Amino acid sequence: MTASPPRTAAASPSTADTHCPYCALQCAMTLTPDPDVSAPVRVEGRMFPTNRGGLCKKGWTSAALLASPERLTTPLIREDGVLRPAGWDEALGRIVSSLRAIRQEDGPDAVAVFGGGGLTNEKAYLLGKFARLALGTSRIDYNGRFCMSSAAAAGNRAFGIDRGLPFPVSDLDDADTILLLGSNVAATMPPLLAHLAGARAAGGLIVVDPRRSQTAELTADGAGTHLQPAPGTDLVLLLGLTHVVLADGLADGDYLAARTTGADVLRRSVAPWWPERVQAATGVPVAALRETAHRLARGRGTYILTGRGVEQHVDGTDTATAAINLALVLGLPGRPGSGYGTLTGQGNGQGGREHGQKSDQLPGYRKIADPADRAAVAAVWGVDPDSLPGPGVPAVQLLGMLGRPEGVRALLVHGANVVISGPDAEAVRSGLGALDLLVVCDFVLSETAALADVVLPVTQWAEEEGTLTTLEGRIIRRRRALVPPAGVRSELEILADLAARLDAPSQWPTDPALVFAELARASAGGIADYSGLSHAQLDAQLDDGVAAHWPYPAGSEGTPRLFLERFAHPDGRARLVPVQPRDRDPDPLEEAPFERAMPGEGAPAVLTLITGRLLEHYQSGAQTRLVAELAEAQPRARAELHPATAARLGIADGDPVTVRNRRGRVVADALLTERIRLDTVFLPFHFADAECANLLTAAETDPISGMPEFKRTTVVVAAGRRRGGAAPVGAAQVRAAQVHA
Ligand SMILES: Nc1nc2c(c(=O)[nH]1)N[C@H]1C(S)=C(S)[C@@H](COP(=O)(O)OP(=O)(O)OC[C@H]3O[C@@H](n4cnc5c(=O)[nH]c(N)nc54)[C@H](O)[C@@H]3O)O[C@H]1N2
Ligand SMILES: Nc1nc2c(c(=O)[nH]1)N[C@H]1C(S)=C(S)[C@@H](COP(=O)(O)OP(=O)(O)OC[C@H]3O[C@@H](n4cnc5c(=O)[nH]c(N)nc54)[C@H](O)[C@@H]3O)O[C@H]1N2
Ligand code: SF4
Ligand SMILES: [Mo]
């Protein structure tokens, strides 16, 4: 089943102007069918405001997976414990009979759906509709919960709207001061660096990261400042910066009076956070704190941007709120040439959180609990509003319900590899194992797909039409360059077929242009209004180089910049929401038994684990670990340790290291680097088996957003045993054992 599929270029056009399959920068590229290259298409960077013709390594190599021998080209069904090839009719028939039985026994909420922020707008929209109408379940959520939920919650609370960047990326070019908190763009969005050049030239790039990341390194030689707080202390740091701004008379009083509410309460809330106290809590020196506050106020063109480093914490919403408060006190949001934003991560991380795959949401960023929103969408779908289920539960909670009494018995996964990227991965694995039915749509046998009862092979980016919404809220076209291999179906076709078999009401178009037209109607009047857009019109805009930023109601020309006159709350004002750190240090007793040396290990030390990304790999690595050039550059997880910490533990560079806590145990080779603090260890989360960082992370979440804490975990680190013959089983071996060719 893994033989290389025959590849044919679409009859016309012979080249396609499209965008990268990976991150939210959505770098533009041209694909040209080319028999002379190993991949079926040649990739060239294309001029576009976000990437200006540039691509990163992942973009350049993105075509490799189109013809990979690992590509799935037939449905798979589990039989006697192993996956075997099957026909589409058999696979869909098995899904539907199982879903019907489960629904009859335990009701519609026993079936759940897990989506992804990489799905096109069309797929995300149809998936949300499918869950509510064809399955009748409230239980749908998606991997964007792991990614954007805290920043989104903070944006909604402060501004009344959640668009990651409320301005085009290219606006950053003219800034002389940029505060970048918990974001390593040099590795995660390399072409974006061109937009930071102005701030660097002006000495105004300020990077906040406990590691001296590649991005922090860009502040060297007078280009800016690197602040290196202890992990998880950004909230205090931001309260301290806001304190200095207010205490030193740097606040924009006119702006606060005219455009915000809550300034007095905010002022009182930051009063106790004097610089010395902040230094004690964060490790950031008083002088650096003061200089940063003054620089932000002095800047002619100042931006504050956040990434996952500050958001993926149990207080991520409050930390993002504190960053927004600082921006508001300085009068940045909505001031031309300045602003606040968060850097959305996944390819369609923005659009994917607007059109209904989130548990509390309907298309157009409407609320599923709001009677008017329900009525509006039900009218487009041609159903009774009362037939729509209510709000479901966020992703981590949903994963915790798998296989539990009153919980979830069947799960449909579209565009996520939860067994690698969900927190407390072993618990996720056992939950998936306890299901009566796990269905995974993917184009590779991800670690999650390898556990499924039914795997459905889907089209890849270069084989499909659709739209995505970039980190700047710009709707772009994904265009088809290749005919998909025989045996593969688009998710729109799969959902329509299943809906018909389940006797679902409403229409189930499979043409992406028609799905978009329906999405546009369903979003009309919502916050994320796409009703003025269509595929045809986007194609025309693309040719003209015009930008389609939402809200884009019919008759408008879109909204590149939000907040110029008002915020999205009914009174037009932004909310200053006072926030305070909560005492949340882990109980030392809880970890104590794990501090003992284990047989075969060296002396242990208790450190803080932070997790994140490498340039070469994307997310769970399901895709990039299969691209030879990327896998060769980064073949395995390496645990970054400070040389002094390593010396104390008797660990040399390249030695095996055990990182463990009561949830699990990771074995990785040591990478000694002075870029990390003495008290922390860093692991990338792109790897599987014994190298899976999420074996260690906790399923504890932010109470407002449901975001898990990926960035601060207490672990025990010790010299480990070198892996020998009993090495953990790799994904390739799992595949070989489970799939009958
Ligand atoms: N190469 C690559 N690029 C990607 C992705 C990928 O998987 N690989 N994924 C895409 C996606 S979905 C996303 S969400 C983005 C994420 O992009 P980023 O937010 O840039 O990615 P991370 O590496 O998760 O985290 C960024 C930084 O946060 C730091 N950090 C950790 N803990 C803390 C803390 O407590 N405080 C502060 N201030 N910083 C902390 C880490 O050291 C790290 O350098 O990248 C996108 N681009
Ligand atoms: N420890 C730790 N864990 C983290 C993070 C962290 O920083 N640290 N970051 C979190 C973040 S920000 C994110 S965004 C998540 C991402 O976590 P994942 O959900 O694991 O993301 P991907 O690896 O992109 O998984 C997408 C899967 O869907 C497939 N796929 C791609 N496109 C499509 C499509 O159109 N249809 C279908 N059906 N399948 C498709 C891919 O082949 C892949 O198997 O991880 C989170 N987990
Ligand atoms: S930065 Fe993101 S969108 Fe651009 S080429 Fe790299 S992975 Fe693709
Ligand atoms: Mo993400």
Q: How far apart are the CA of 618 and the centre of ligand 2, in A?
A: 8
CB contact set of 363 (below 8 Å; sequence gap of 6+): 125, 128, 129, 354, 355, 356, 377, 519, 522, 523, 526
pLDDT value of residue 35: 73
The CA distance from 465 to 209, in Å, is 38
> Is 293 exposed, middle or buried (CB count within 10 Å of its CB: 0-12, 13-18, 19+)?
buried
The CA distance from 102 to 523, in Å, is 32
13-27, 171-185, 481-495: the lowest-pLDDT one: 13-27
Q: Is the peptide bond before 551 cis (omega within 30 degrees of 0)?
A: yes
Q: Give the rounded percent of residues in the chain with a pLDDT score beyond 70.
A: 93
Specify the residue for token string 């499909």: 464
DSSP collapsed to 3 states, 454-512: EEEEECCHHHCCEEEECCCCEEEEECCCEECCCCCECHHHHHHHHHHHCCCCCCCCCCH
Tokens of residue 34, six digits: 């080319």
Task: Identify residues whose C-beta is under 5 A from ligand 4, the ion.
Answer: 147, 345
249-258, 560-569, 652-661, 713-722: the lowest-pLDDT one: 713-722
Across 636-654, b (16+ Cβ under 10 Å) vs e yields: ebbbbbbbebbeebebeee
346 CA closest ligand 2 atom index: 14
Domain 588-737 has CATH 3.40.50.2300: no
Superfamily of domain 149-343: Dimethylsulfoxide Reductase, domain 2 (3.40.228.10)
CB atoms inside a 10 Å sphere around CB 97: 12
CA torsion through residues 552, 558, 562, 567, sign: negative
Pocket of ligand 2 (CB under 6 A): 116-119, 143, 146-147, 308, 312, 345-346, 414-417, 420-421, 441-444, 446, 458, 491, 611-612, 619-620, 622-623, 685, 693-694, 697, 710
- Using CA atoms, how far residue 181 sits from 310, 374, 534, 587, in Å, is 7, 37, 36, 28
The CA distance from 512 to 503, in Å, is 22
The CA distance from 362 to 468, in Å, is 17
* Residue boundaries of the structural domains of the chain: 76-147+348-528, 149-343, 588-737
pLDDT value of residue 187: 98
208 CA closest ligand 1 atom index: 38
CB atoms inside a 10 Å sphere around CB 6: 11
pLDDT tens digits along 379-422: 999 999 999 999 999 999 999 999 999 999 999 999 999 999 99
For 652, phi and psi rounded to 5 degrees?
Answer: -105, 160
**Topology of domain 76-147+348-528, CATH:** Rossmann fold (3.40.50)
Residue 739 has pLDDT above 50, yes or no: no
Region 186-197 average pLDDT: 98
Is the Cβ atom of 59 under 6 angstroms away from ligand 1? no
Region 79-101 average pLDDT: 98
Pocket of ligand 3 (CB under 6 A): 20, 22-23, 25-27, 51, 55-56, 58-59, 189-191
DSSP collapsed to 3 states, 324-352: HHHHHHCCCCCCCCCEEEECCCECCCCHH
683 CA closest ligand 2 atom index: 1
Residue 142 has pLDDT above 50, yes or no: yes
549-558, 597-606, 633-642: the lowest-pLDDT one: 597-606
The CA distance from 478 to 209, in Å, is 34
Query: pLDDT band at 446, cuts 50/70/90?
Result: very high
Hey, what amino acid is at 31?
A: L
CA 482 to chain centre: 27
Q: How far apart are the first and last CA of the chain?
A: 5
CA torsion through residues 353, 355, 356, 360, sign: positive
pLDDT value of residue 540: 85
pLDDT value of residue 543: 59
Q: What value does the mean pLDDT of the chain take? A: 93
Closest to 565 measured CA to CA, from 557, 553, 573, 555: 573
Q: How far apart are the CA of 124 and the centre of ligand 3, in A?
A: 21
CB 241 within 8 A of CB 302: no
Residue 1 has pLDDT above 80, yes or no: no
CA 383 to chain centre: 32
Region 263-280 average pLDDT: 98
The CA distance from 284 to 140, in Å, is 41
